[in-house]
Amino acid sequence: METKTQWSLRKPKVRVLIVDDHPVLRRGLAQLINQDPRLVVCGEADDAPKAIRAIETLLPDFVIIDIALKHGNGLELLKTIKPHFPALPVLVLSMHDELLYAERALRAGALGYLMKDESPERVLLAIERILSGEIFLSDRMKSRMMQQFASRSSKTPVSTLEQLTDRELEVFHLIGSGLSTRQIADDLHLSVHTVQAYREFIKAKLNLRNSTELVQHAFHWTHVHAAA
């Protein structure tokens, strides 16, 4: 029987699509992947629309996606991809804290989550494990998810930010990045009214009294916790 460590030695190279908005990172990741005799990068994209077109035309065997993209969001891209390509394995490779985003990524359809500060060997290991049919997460994230599962019966309250929906968290991050309501609306292809509604939802869930507190809280989280 073929073992998991022989996952593609007898097959054509696994064709990988890289979706990331940083050209330097895409280049470095492509060099890493192409050095593995089992893998080959078949294409690159820096935003969600280009990624969808690339998947439709190139038909990759594996996709690596970042959370933050030039246009669009990695979580929303996942939700768009999965109904049309349910068997396509996806690894999320991002600078965003896995403790907040990994579970969201799995719910959206990813099969693994890895932070960009991990070693190159971990990236290749993640690809191998996912192609072998496994879910790939850090030991820290696996432990946290097990603890969450064990504590659900005790109705332990979730942390404040975990109460936000994926879209609310995305808006919160953009607020913390200094974008105005109009800029957020343009970036997410939403109306200003819709973004204003999201801001109100976020304030209510985070128990913030006004827009000033919202901006301060978002800025602190984006520039301290999300970058940690």
- Polymer length in residues for the chain: 228
Calpha distance 220→203 (Å, rounded) = 15
Torsional sign, CA 7, 13, 14, 19: positive
Q: Do domains 4-146 and 161-225 have the same CATH topology?
A: no
Q: What is the pLDDT of residue 53?
A: 96
Confidence of residue 4 (pLDDT cuts 50, 70, 90): very low
In 89-190, where do the E strands start and end? 90-94, 112-115
Q: Are strands 14-19 and 112-115 parallel, antiparallel or unpaired?
A: unpaired
Q: What pLDDT is stored for residue 2 in this prediction?
A: 39
| Architecture, CATH, for domain 161-225 | Orthogonal Bundle (1.10)
Cα separation, 8 vs 143, whole angstroms: 30
Angle, to 10 degrees, between the axis of helix 192-206 and the axis of helix 181-188?
110
Tokens 């070693």: give the residue: 119
Please compute the mean of the pLDDT values over residues 213-222 and round it to a whole number.
82
Instruction: Please give the class, per CATH, of domain 4-146.
Output: alpha beta
- Using DSSP's 3-state secondary structure scheme, residue 16 falls into strand
Average pLDDT over residues 31-52: 95
Distance between CA atoms of 52 and 30, rounded to whole angstroms? 19
**How much is the CA Rg of the chain, to the nearest whole Å?**
19
pTM of the predicted protein model: 0.68
pLDDT at residue 156 tops 50? no
Domain ranges, ordered by start, for the chain:
4-146, 161-225
Q: Are strands 112-115 and 90-94 parallel, antiparallel or unpaired?
A: parallel
CA dihedral 169, 171, 177, 183 (to 10 degrees): 170
